[in-house]
Structure 1
Amino acid sequence: MNFDPARDLLTIVEDLGGDGRPEVLLLFNTAAISGNWGGLWGVVMVEDAPGRWREACSIAHRSAPPVGAIRLPAAPLRGWRNFRTDEGIYGWRPMADGSGRMECTPPEITAVRPVRGPRRRARWVHWQRPIDPMASDALREFRLSTHPIADAMAINHEGARIGVNRTPGRPRNFDPAFDLLYATSDLGRRGAEIAFLLFDWPMLRRDGEPLPGVVMWWSAPEARWRIACTIADAGDRGAAGGVTLLDTRSEGLRDFRTSAGRYAWAGGPAGPECHAVPP
């Protein structure tokens, strides 16, 4: 029931202000937040300065699966761009504090006026999930395991406090929006869903050492994810980063390599298990 951005968050990143800095629309796809009224609640976030975000307005959108796109009507090439959810058109106005900052207005007070001058074409913009649903499910199952990293994730590393931690900067508690790198594959065998989870989490990372991670495989007979092995990788996000799938196979699955070494497969009591092998 706790909010998990890996499962419960939909996002759109779009430059609505025409200044080259994108705004972010967040839609909370969970009944614990949106209730059972047949729709979803969300917010629009604006970055006034690098790293300084604020809420510009609340939004609503119907939750027909899959959640429908929003529409960006035609608008001038400069200035703030209206957007339409299936609850109506949201516009923009200066905030009442005289700061010159903008806030978005709900449909009932948004005036739709003719637009003159250069136009952009209207288009639909689709919601995105923060991570792949398969990796999200694997992460949730991992967090329910007895693995030492999962135990560390269950600890409140931000100390005893009540309410929201509004300290700027990266949170200390594990947050998949910040602290997770992942990849998914079937490793060359139909039905062999695999999720590589790498934890770029300051509470685990040691200077000069690779990042810890796990490989999760989908056990169809049990309808659940299981841990296949623990891995390590430098977590390079560049073109050379990620997991390399090799041509060699073991147990019918492609072996793989990370920056820390090579891994192969062996049969285990509950299913396939991976392990590090010599170069």
Structure 2
Amino acid sequence: MAMKFSVLASGSSGNAIYVETDEHSFLVDAGLSCKQIGNLFQQIGRDPAKLDGLLVTHEHSDHIKGIGVMARKYKLPVFANERTWQAMDGLIGEIATEQKFVFGMETVQSYGGLDIESFGVSHDAAEPMFYIFRSGGKKLVIVTDTGYVSDRMKGIISDADMYVFESNHDIDMLRMGRYPWNIKRRILSDVGHVSNEDAALAMSEVIGDNTKRIYLAHLSRDNNMKDLARMSVQQTLEAQGMAVGSQFELFDTDPSIPTDLTAV
């Protein structure tokens, strides 16, 4: 069963990732307006009304901005863990009870030949978690919004065919930038976001023989640049003995331009 995905949008202004098999399709987060997400779906030739559900990672606005309107407009099921549901209360408007589903932390839900596994990350939200998709012997891992990548996480996400991996900031740009110190401290903390170098070091420990593509995601608009992120990650991986470009490839993501719908 072929599994395909597109990073519709990724960055501090909004995040949404589309995953499909021949039988099912899901959207991980809806951190843009319903109209914007509809336009992104058009660009990849898909219809949001046909989604099987919306999977929520955590309650920050760049991940849930469009959840409520999407759910109401298209009558979509919404999946989140109990603490995230509580944290979203009052942020996404009313959602009908029959559209609200609990997806527990570190559990697996199956839809035909598609298995979706949740796992916890270290971020300053109620109970943040991300997702692994498995179908047809392939494995897609989505992991952003984490201050560090723990050994437990590394074990869960290792040797995926494809990764959507946070590469949030360049440490020097962040330190020299315009953010107030309390925001800088939050981003650099264990419940903030991983830097380009720390992301690459974590990647070097999880990349396996099956790994073919890594998408650098959730880049800071103010404290990173695509070229810088890719260069930093590549240099760090190559210093760890990884053959970037032949063993696997690195790809950019964008806040407003979807990646090509790609088979995992």
Same fold (TM over 0.5): no
Larger radius of gyration: 1
| Higher RCO structure (Cα 8 Å, ≥6 apart) | 2
TM-score, normalisation: structure 1: 0.25
**Higher strand share goes to which structure?**
1
TM-score, normalisation: structure 2: 0.26
**Higher helix share goes to which structure?**
2
